[in-house]
Amino acid sequence: MAGAWETVIGLETHVQLRTVSKMFCGCSAAFGAPPNTNVCPVCLGLPGALPVPNEHALQLAVRAALGLGCTVHPRSVFARKNYFYPDLPKGYQISQFEQPLATAGSLSYLSPDRGIATATIQRLHVEEDAGKSLHDRFPKQTAIDLNRCGVPLIEIVTGPDFRSPHEARTYLLTLKQVLEYAAISDCDMEKGSLRVDANVSVRRVGETMLGTKTEVKNINSFAYVEKALTVERDRQIAVLEGGGTLAPQTMLYDSKTNGVRPQRSKEESHDYRYFPDPDLPPLVLTEQFIAEQQTLLPELPAKKRERFVEKYALSVTDAAVLTADRNVADYYEAVVHAGADAKTAANWVMTEVLADAKDHADGLRVAAGALANLIGLVRGGTLSHQAAKRVFAEVAERGGEPRNVAEALGLVQVADTGVLSGWVSDVLGAHTSEVMRYKQGETKLLQFFVGQVMKASRGKADPKLAQRVLEEKLAP
Amino acid sequence: MSVTHDEVRRIARLAELDVSDEVLPLLGEQMSRILEYVAQINAVPASEGVKPFVPGPDAVRFRADEVKPWPLAFGPAEFAPAFRDGFFLVPKLGQFEDADT
Amino acid sequence: MSDPSEALASAKAAADRIVNVKRLNACLTPIKELRKSLAAQASTAHPSGVLYGMPVAVKDNICTLEFTTSCGSKILEGYRSPYDATAAAKLKAAGALIAGKTNCDEFGMGSSTEHSAYGRTLHPFDKTRVPGGSSGGSAALVAAGAVPAALGSETGGSVRQPASLCGVVGIKPTYGRVSRYGLVAFGSSLDQIGVLGRSVHDAARVLSVISGRDPKDSTCEDRDSLRLPNVPESLQGFVIGVPKEYFPQDLDAAVRRACDRAIRLLRELGAAVREVSLPHTAYAVATYYIIAPAEASSNLARYDGARYGPRFNGSEDVRALYRTTRGDGFGPEVRRRVLVGTYVLSSGYYDAYYRKAQQMRALIAQDFRNVFDRGVDLLFTPTTPTPAFKAGEKLNDPVAMYLSDIFTVTANIAGLPAISVPIGRIKGLPIGGQLIGQAFLEDEMLEAAYALERAVPAAEEA
Ligand SMILES: [Zn+2]
């Protein structure tokens, strides 16, 4: 049944910019302070207070716009969005409306269904955040904390470009990656530094007109993005298949029940009466200001991925894993620059390093140079791959130079034929029937004997040398 | 330009103002007269190409990103009509109760 | 004056004079509190300040740490600002004493000081008349001789109009000359703090102190404070334009006589006087009464009873809190303007009203530029169409009240400096003449005002 329908989704993402102070006042933008302590006349909306914009917020916003391939307008206008809400002290939010900071960008992402797909970025504008309302702190009262009020945000609006909830989620992860790379935002949905609203509609496959759309709000974790959109899509299809019609309304997602319900506020509360904010002259950005932001933008994930494929002869998948996080990508390159083979280094980073990082708050505990040395020890035959993993774990835990650690652990491979012969003799003596079978032509048992020698040597035997000695001793 | 009572009510809701039924007729009439008076600007033709004029600086100046709030001689606890444990208090949201929790 | 005992004496004398004119209801500060604060301020004021010991009353919509800041409104009854407006801070830094808060039309919305929640202010010469507004309290206190100068604020003429009606000097500086930080916003793109003074000099020296750059106001220009000009010997070299649109056929005959006399004196002082035209003047009041209420509807949204100010009645939910607070807290004129402003910004009406008004504003500003570009330095006009009118006369006719701003709103619309100087009496009531200057050329405007002030027999019938 679902095959007969096409889903159309557009996303509006609010991202908190990484500044130390708020958008229009000098209050700290830090998360987690006691309630109403990061406040001043401006963000409290006291009579007579006026906004003054934060330069770094605008630098970050322009970097985001450039990173998303937008046209940054040299002249844009702050506008007031008027509505009443207890955590909105001025009765309006300073945002941008008719003349936003940037328009017409795009972001490519790897669609699970269509390969590389491109989302259009219709607009990107700057605005201030509202405060926080707590409804269950006191009985019959709502508690208001204005610490977050006035924190700088950008809103990034896509076209109706996503054809499945999964695609929408993939775009969002790609966007997050770009914004984290450029140090524009922490993109932490749980802390509210990235929030997303979605416009969802469905239509019959082949239809070109858009269906009635609803806006899905209150999706407050990456884990719920796909779920919330799927629930709403399925609800719309069910209504239409039941012969009903859809109302263009706002739906609130409830993660506890994994359901959506319509928001009850009245329609007229959406007449926001936007007009240019008379407290703020036009936002005029010089060519130099914009050019400077371009130079401060790091190489972004898509570019880096391409370069890794080309320069280090990696597969697209491996390059994608290595470039997903800027720190990991930088680390990988440092390992290669320290002399490690690119392919081997990639394997180490994708397995041991990422596994260790995952268990230790994303920390890269073994220095890039140390990992390069460790890889060198394996390549030179001093350590087996198995032994090297133990050395890695030890260095991660307690530090030290890989060679010293390997020696201290007694893991350096024994390449002395005399010592090896002893272990080989022991092994052959203990497995006489296998020796018989080998001699009768079952030569694939050689690997079994190598394994036994490694075991007897507790991993210290050089496996290649062990194989040679075995072949000699078993020769007819 | 005559403003209907329903329109006055709708605008009053948008502006979050209580307007009682007794004052509604007079208010509607006064609003109509004001709007009728100001609508005369539409008699001036061909202002489409005119760029809006706003006095003041041509470009907004920026503030450095530093934690340096303008001073507050005393805190919210001193001027808030209802304040507890560091929070401003307002009655429950009522129609707004859909708000994210 | 540079001696603390003189400052204390000045403070006490000011308090005494304010008590003496208590019947005008011009000062909202309780007298005990005023005396105590003035004495404290006098003992700590900085003796090297240029206004050391000078008592300056401040309009109730300008935030001060001293006294309450209620904007003439019930919705801010008892509200104490936790910070000083930049203008108030600069006054104090110059050694001036904040001599109480003055009555005004609620949030500056009105032209008669009748729209105050704390009762109307009386005209100092005739208690049945209004002092003008919205800075009527400041004008009445200065006119009654209680203080040499007072801060007012303008959105459409609220300093010049009461100055004209009370027979004192009123200056509105160029938009962006004085910081608006701490001036409670009414129409942000029109609002400026202005000064009322017993003479051009008193008003100008206070203006000089409060002017200049302020990092707290994005609309304040990055300029040094205003430098005071010398009183000129003559007005030789000045070209003064007289815009014909400000002298319509039906202009009050006595007002016309007073203006004609002033124009003759300006000529005698050496100025070249020329008739000029500002063709879009007829649309100024309409333009103003779209832009100002639109901005006001948004600026006054913050008065919702949630964070400061009193709460009225018990409210079940937050919407009820908003509606009763705003419904009971705002007076009828504020309610009207908030509704009109909400209407013109609302969906479907924005283009016909607000956008169109912004364009009209550009045409009006262009009119002034055209005249100034053709060699005119200043414009001379009447400040008000009539002398002080009777209390209650225009209370129920908002449009008639709005038309008393007809000669003053244009300077706010175009962001230009303007000054009202007393130019005579009409049946004993004062009337002012207005000089409109070019942006940031207050010094030229003040030179002409000094000369006119010295030449004109302001106390004589026109
Ligand atoms: Zn703040």
Question: Tokens 């993109």 identify what position?
Answer: A187
Q: How many independent structural domains does chain A possess?
A: 3
Does residue A280 have a pLDDT over 70?
yes
**Gap from B100 CA to chain C (nearest CA, Å):** 16
User: What was the pLDDT predicted at C267?
Assistant: 97
A159-168 pLDDT per residue, tens: 999 999 999 9
Does residue A267 have a pLDDT over 80?
no
Are C298 and A92 in contact (CB < 8 Å)? yes
User: What was the pLDDT predicted at A346?
Assistant: 87
Are C184 and A89 in contact (CB < 8 Å)? no
Residues of chain C neighbouring B7 (CB-CB closer than 8 A): 343
Residues of chain A neighbouring B98 (CB-CB closer than 8 A): 252, 263-265
User: What was the pLDDT predicted at B99?
Assistant: 45
User: What was the pLDDT predicted at A423?
Assistant: 83
**Which chains share 3+ C-beta pairs under 8 angstroms with A?**
B, C
Q: CB–CB of C357/C365 below 8 Å?
A: no
Does residue C436 have a pLDDT over 90?
yes
B53: nearest CB among C65, C283, C361: C361
Residues of chain C neighbouring B54 (CB-CB closer than 8 A): 189, 358, 361
Does residue A444 have a pLDDT over 70?
yes
Mean pLDDT of A140-166: 95
Does residue B29 have a pLDDT over 60?
yes
The CATH homologous superfamily to which domain C1-279+363-462 belongs is: Amidase signature (AS) domain (3.90.1300.10)
- Tally A–B CB contacts below 8 A: 147
Say if C216 is an interface residue toward chain A (CB within 8 Å). Answer: yes
A84-124 pLDDT per residue, tens: 999 999 999 999 999 999 999 999 898 888 888 999 999 99
**Gap from B101 CA to chain C (nearest CA, Å):** 16
Q: Predicted ipTM?
A: 0.95
**Gap from B26 CA to chain A (nearest CA, Å):** 24
* Residues of C designated as active site: 59, 134, 158
Q: Are strands B87-91 and C149-154 parallel, antiparallel or unpaired?
A: unpaired
Greatest mean pLDDT among A436-440, C6-10, C78-82: C78-82
Are C280 and B44 in contact (CB < 8 Å)? yes
Say if B7 is an interface residue toward chain A (CB within 8 Å). Answer: no
Does residue A242 have a pLDDT over 90?
no
DSSP H or E stretch at residue C414: helix C409-414
Domain borders along chain B are: 5-43
Taking the C-alpha atoms of residue C115 and residue C102, their distance in angstroms, rounded to an integer, is 13
Domain encompassing residue A373: 299-408
Question: What are the two backbone dihedrals, phi and then psi, of residue A153, each rounded to the nearest 5 degrees?
Answer: -130, 155
User: What was the pLDDT predicted at B1?
Assistant: 58
Q: Is the same domain home to A365 and A427?
A: no
Domain borders along chain C are: 1-279+363-462, 285-352
Q: Is C430 exposed, middle or buried (0-12, 13-18, 19+ CB in 10 A)?
A: buried
Q: Is the same domain home to A334 and A287?
A: no
Does residue C423 have a pLDDT over 90?
yes
Q: Is the same domain home to A308 and A191?
A: no
B38: nearest CB among C308, C353, C355: C353
Does residue A380 have a pLDDT over 80?
no
Are B86 and A135 in contact (CB < 8 Å)? no
Per-residue pLDDT band at C97 (split at 50, 70, 90): very high
* Lowest-confidence region among A114-118, C33-37, C161-165: A114-118
A292, A321, A343 — which closes off a domain? A292
Taking the C-alpha atoms of residue C131 and residue C152, their distance in angstroms, rounded to an integer, is 13
A385-437 pLDDT per residue, tens: 777 888 888 788 888 888 777 777 777 776 667 777 888 888 888 888 888 88
Mean pLDDT of chain A: 88
Are A80 and C298 in contact (CB < 8 Å)? yes
C294: nearest CB among A50, A275, A281: A275
Q: What is the CATH number of the domain that holds A443?
A: 1.10.10.410
Q: Is the same domain home to A386 and A424?
A: no
**B63, B74, B85, B90, best to mutate vs chain A, most A CBs in 10 Å:** B63
Q: How far is the CA of C34 from the centre of ligand 1 (A)?
A: 31
Q: CB–CB of A72/A287 below 8 Å?
A: no
Are A50 and C85 in contact (CB < 8 Å)? no
Instruction: Find the helix packing angle between A368-379 and A326-337, rounded to 10°.
Output: 50
Which pair of tokens denotes residue A145? Answer: 């904390």
- Nearest chain B residue to A273 by CA distance is B14
Residues of chain B neighbouring C318 (CB-CB closer than 8 A): 90-94, 96
Mean pLDDT of B55-83: 95
Taking the C-alpha atoms of residue C345 and residue C357, their distance in angstroms, rounded to an integer, is 11
Say if A131 is an interface residue toward chain C (CB within 8 Å). Answer: no
Taking the C-alpha atoms of residue C124 and residue A88, their distance in angstroms, rounded to an integer, is 43
User: What was the pLDDT predicted at A343?
Assistant: 86
Query: Which residues hold their Cβ within 5 A of ligand 1, which is an ion?
Result: A 25, 27, 40, 42-43
C290: nearest CB among B38, B52, B54: B38
**Which chains share 3+ C-beta pairs under 8 angstroms with B?**
A, C
**Gap from A240 CA to chain B (nearest CA, Å):** 26
**Gap from B44 CA to chain A (nearest CA, Å):** 22
Mean pLDDT of chain B: 87
Taking the C-alpha atoms of residue C214 and residue C227, their distance in angstroms, rounded to an integer, is 17
Taking the C-alpha atoms of residue B39 and residue B41, their distance in angstroms, rounded to an integer, is 5
C319: nearest CB among B27, B33, B95: B95
Question: Tokens 């707590």 identify what position?
Answer: A134
Q: How far is the CA of A58 from the centre of ligand 1 (A)?
A: 17
Q: How far is the CA of A329 from the centre of ligand 1 (A)?
A: 38
Say if B60 is an interface residue toward chain A (CB within 8 Å). Answer: yes
